[in-house]
């Protein structure tokens, strides 16, 4: 009876998600209006549980980007937003955060439908994450300031922090609303205007957010949304002469292309790109805690996140015990319908990514890695893949070097501290890493020696915060999001000097 009741609840949740999606305006959002795209083309919204197309949304193109950018540029140069008192801008962001929180259930349903993530995960991570970013940066709106400086001459010298102008925000499909909030909140708090491009695989919550912008009372042109493909809409945004900044989260390949395209007009660029993150488990670690942390680090969001702990280095003294428990935990993971309350892992978000993950699993087998568990599609429909653990992985294997972006973890042994640090750093990426140890000296040494932007010590993997700077080293990108540095990235510094007549002191 309990199973039947749970199944019915899941069906009801799915029906509510479909109804919410059907009720959305399936158009572009430009200058506070939902409008058709110029081409008349449509983009499919595909249910990753089944592979079924459930609705279609307007596909934007270069003409639509031009309309949106001009609306944002006019709003910045002629509209009230940059001239609005900073406290009032903050109040508007608080209002938007309240509206998102009031509609959290609907937004979580849309996220689960769109990308297949468990509903509970969307409720616990994605929607609260957006709200946290909005509230944190709402508080920053009236705290951006310059300095009064001593000049070598009898001059008054001071600095101003000014908004940049039009910001293009290009976000991926794994955390559509949360990663948009990470960029949107500081951009707006600083007084900029925005054109957002959601990934074509995850457009629903961004369109619902546009409705909430209207309800919150934001002026026209402050927030615009152009749905479309990366090579058309994304490229047009990056190349547009009226766009002043590009903030991008996504693959390193696309990040490099954005740098190339942005160079011609010397745009400000922030890139958060790929990762191949290492979790190092020392011999003195609490094994049970480390097993659970390593499990979540690899398999949250079906492994589809840039800080996934896909490279696991376990000290040789505890490797056998650790891996026996890790395999057992992976095999117990509840895979299924995202709308079921007990589901820990849903499907891969879309078919191309599903195919890529399976191909890399096959590459791991062919190169001699030992498949400890998983490695197969689940069922005949939808994009489900078993949690997969590989042992006997060598550092040069593709699965140890390439970002898989799926539920796959590569497990390796180590003996010497300097050795494991060298191996962990032997990657093109440098986004994040983790260390499990009870020794303070080891934690301090490794946190400094690992060439990454973030290091988590013990059981706090993926504990991001709006107040803590986040950014990558090497080919994981550059620039910083979150914290004071995150909002300063949406400003530029200006120095002002003027003579002081008959100064009583200088």
**How many CB atoms neighbour CB 464 within 10 A?**
19
**Are residues 358 and 324 in contact, defined by beta-carbon separation less than 8 angstroms?**
no
Question: Cα torsion for 170, 175, 181, 184, to the nearest 10°?
Answer: 0
**Are residues 417 and 407 in contact, defined by beta-carbon separation less than 8 angstroms?**
no
d(CA 170, CA 245): 11
d(CA 47, CA 21): 11
From the list 58, 106, 200, 272, the catalytic residue is 272
**Are residues 278 and 434 in contact, defined by beta-carbon separation less than 8 angstroms?**
yes
**Are residues 170 and 194 in contact, defined by beta-carbon separation less than 8 angstroms?**
no
**Are residues 470 and 314 in contact, defined by beta-carbon separation less than 8 angstroms?**
no
d(CA 185, CA 172): 17
Distances (CA, A) of 350 to 45, 80, 114, 346: 10, 41, 9, 12
Query: Rounded to the nearest 10 degrees, what angle do helices 86-102 and 204-216 cross at?
Result: 130
Specify whether 386 is catalytic.
Answer: no
Both tokens of residue 275?
């990762």
From the list 277, 301, 306, 410, the catalytic residue is 306
**How many CB atoms neighbour CB 156 within 10 A?**
14
- Who contacts 204 (Cβ-Cβ below 8 Å, separation ≥6)? 21, 24, 45, 110, 111, 113, 114, 176
Specify whether 272 is catalytic.
Answer: yes
Per-residue H/E/C for 344-387? CECCCCCHHHHHHHHHHHHHHHHCCCEEEECCCECCCCCCCECC
Catalytic (active-site) positions: 272, 306
């Amino acid at each position: 009876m309990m199973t039947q009741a749970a199944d019915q609840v899941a069906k009801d949740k799915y029906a509510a998600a479909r109804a919410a999606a059907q009720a959305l305006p399936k158009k572009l959002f430009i200058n506070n209006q939902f409008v058709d795209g110029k081409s008349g083309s449509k983009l499919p919204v595909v249910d990753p549980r089944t592979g079924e197309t459930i609705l279609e949304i307007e596909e934007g193109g270069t003409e639509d980007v031009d309309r949106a950018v001009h609306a944002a540029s006019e709003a910045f140069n002629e509209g009230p937003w940059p001239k609005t008192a900073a406290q009032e801008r903050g109040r508007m962001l608080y209002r938007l955060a309240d509206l998102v929180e009031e509609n959290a259930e609907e937004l979580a349903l849309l996220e689960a439908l769109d990308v297949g993530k468990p509903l509970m995960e969307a409720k616990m991570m994605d929607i609260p994450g957006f709200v946290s970013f909005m509230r944190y940066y709402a508080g920053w709106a009236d705290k951006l300031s310059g300095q009064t400086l001593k000049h070598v001459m009898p001059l008054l010298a001071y600095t101003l922090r000014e908004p940049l102008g039009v910001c293009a925000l290009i976000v991926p499909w794994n955390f559509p609303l949360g990663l948009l909030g990470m960029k949107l909140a500081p951009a707006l708090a600083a007084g900029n205007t925005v054109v957002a491009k959601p990934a074509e695989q995850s457009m629903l919550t961004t369109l619902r957010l546009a409705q909430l912008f209207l309800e919150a009372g934001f002026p026209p042109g402050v927030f615009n949304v152009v749905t479309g493909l990366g090579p058309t809409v994304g490229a047009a945004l990056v190349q547009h002469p009226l766009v002043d900044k590009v903030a991008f989260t996504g693959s390193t390949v696309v990040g490099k292309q954005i740098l190339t395209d942005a160079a011609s007009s010397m745009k400000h660029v922030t890139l958060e790109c790929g990762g191949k993150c290492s979790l190092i488990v020392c011999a003195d670690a609490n094994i049970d805690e480390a097993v659970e942390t390593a499990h979540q680090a690899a398999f949250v969001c079906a492994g589809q996140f840039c800080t996934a702990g896909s490279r696991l280095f376990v000290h040789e003294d505890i490797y056998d015990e650790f891996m026996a428990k890790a395999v057992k935990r992976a095999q117990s993971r509840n895979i299924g319908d995202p709308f079921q309350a007990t589901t820990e892992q849903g499907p891969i978000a879309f078919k191309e990514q599903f195919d890529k993950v399976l191909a890399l699993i096959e590459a791991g087998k062919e190169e001699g890695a030992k498949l400890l568990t998983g490695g197969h599609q689940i069922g005949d429909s939808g994009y489900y893949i078993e949690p997969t653990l590989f042992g006997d992985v060598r550092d040069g294997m593709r699965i140890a070097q390439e970002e898989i972006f799926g539920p796959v973890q590569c497990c390796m042994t180590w003996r010497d501290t300097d050795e494991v640090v060298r191996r962990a750093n032997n990657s093109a990426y440098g986004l994040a890493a983790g260390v499990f140890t009870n020794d303070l000296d080891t934690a301090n040494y490794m946190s400094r020696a690992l060439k990454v932007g973030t290091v988590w010590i013990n059981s706090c993997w993926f504990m991001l915060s709006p107040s803590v700077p986040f950014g990558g080293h090497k080919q994981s990108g550059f620039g910083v999001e979150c914290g004071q540095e995150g909002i300063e990235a949406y400003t530029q510094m200006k120095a002002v000097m003027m003579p002081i007549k008959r100064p009583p002191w200088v």
